[in-house]
Amino acid sequence: MTLEILTSDLLSPVTHGFFTRKGGASSGIFDGLNCGLGSSDQREAVTLNRARVAEAMGASEDALIGIHQVHSPTVTTIVEPQSGEDRPRADGMVTNVPGLVLGILTADCQPVLFSEPDAGVVGAAHAGWRGTLDGVLEATIDAMVDIGARRDKIRAVIGPSISQAAYEVGPEFFDSFMSQSPGNSHFFQAGKGDRYMFDLPGLGLSKLNAAGIASAAWTGHCTYQDAARFYSYRRTTHASEVDYGRLISCIRL
């Protein structure tokens, strides 16, 4: 099956893609393009899936760079290919080296790709609620500026993520956001009983727009609601499945 790759005109002409689960070699609960080496999927299948992604990005397998994602605001600058054992603990990457592919893994969290083509700088971030709240998007923008990007020319796109209609949270979650800023109430709607519905992409877009970049957008795809195209940690939890696949989103100069 052919890979399905979502793109955005906002990031053009830089090569990039938000890959769906279609076209992969994994089977069972991982059926499709599972690119998570940390999953319990067969390593051979994940390795083959990642090789297909690298080929689709016009790069060699060793040029597909990953990080050990830990829901942090930490960002690393990539200057050369890395082995799996060398992956830094971070949630954002930036580079100005042509040919290196920055690959972010997600399964409900926001994959955010950044481009500043005039300066030849790109970035990628894994932005769950914790990382977004703690500043991983702003830190990625800052790191791009540090290696030559102009802030007012950076464009960012949020890929497939869990939508507000599918993201139910409890009062403790709501209170943690209110303790940081009462303005965060904008990202919540009342749910059933004491529950709230949280707008993660809305929070991401707000953070990106406030950072002073040229433009930002969300592709509008919900990972939870479209099981045929996307993996979802929350959907897996609700189904009492033992593990879940990871989507990959990539960008390169």
User: pTM for the full model?
Assistant: 0.96
- What are the strands of the beta sheet with 75-77, ordered from one edge? 75-77, 92-95, 121-127, 110-116, 155-158, 215-218
pLDDT digits (tens, 9 = 90+) for 28-53: 999 999 999 989 999 999 999 999 99
pLDDT digits (tens, 9 = 90+) for 55-98: 999 999 999 999 999 999 999 999 988 766 678 999 999 999 99
99: left (phi over 0), alpha (psi -120 to 50) or beta: left
What pLDDT band is residue 226 in, cutting at 50, 70 and 90? very high
Q: What pLDDT is stored for residue 82 in this prediction?
A: 77
For residues 107 and 97, give the distance between their C-alpha atoms in angstroms, rounded to a whole number.
Answer: 28
The structural domains of the chain, with segments of one domain joined by +, span: 5-161+219-252
pLDDT digits (tens, 9 = 90+) for 139-195: 999 999 999 999 999 999 999 999 999 999 999 999 999 988 889 999 999 999 999
Q: How far does CA 9 lie from the centroid of its chain?
A: 18
Q: Is 72 exposed, middle or buried (0-12, 13-18, 19+ CB in 10 A)?
A: middle
For residues 226 and 233, give the distance between their C-alpha atoms in angstroms, rounded to a whole number.
Answer: 13
Mean per-residue pLDDT, 120-147: 97
Give which of 42, 39, 61, 52 is closest to 4, Cα–Cα: 52
CATH for 5-161+219-252, among 3.60.140.10, 3.90.79.10, 3.40.50.920, 2.60.40.1080? Answer: 3.60.140.10
